[in-house]
Amino acid sequence: MFNTYRTRQLPQAAFLAASGAKFLRVENTGYKYRDLVFEDNDGSVERLADAYFKGASCPALKFYRALTELRIAITHATGVSRG
């Protein structure tokens, strides 16, 4: 079993963070996109990710804050700022 969950989808990552998943880091994959890595010791984040695709919801303000924090983390990891 893996102890991390990775996604390249920013909205899904924001949902996970807003739902309480612990964001660990941004990883360079060598391609245009980056992996957003979450701690997942017990498989609960993977189940939460599946719930996202089935239409699960989370509080809008938490989602917005998570989205903003993830964008900042990506900017710091890549050194690229978008206007």
Is the pLDDT assigned to residue 39 strictly greater than 80? yes
Q: Which strand ranges, in their side-by-side order, compose the sheet holding 4-7?
A: 4-7, 34-39, 23-28
Determine if the pTM surpasses 0.85: yes
For range 17-33, the mean pLDDT: 91
pLDDT tier, 64 (very low <50, low <70, confident <90, very high otherwise) = very high
Task: Give pLDDT, residue 30.
Answer: 77
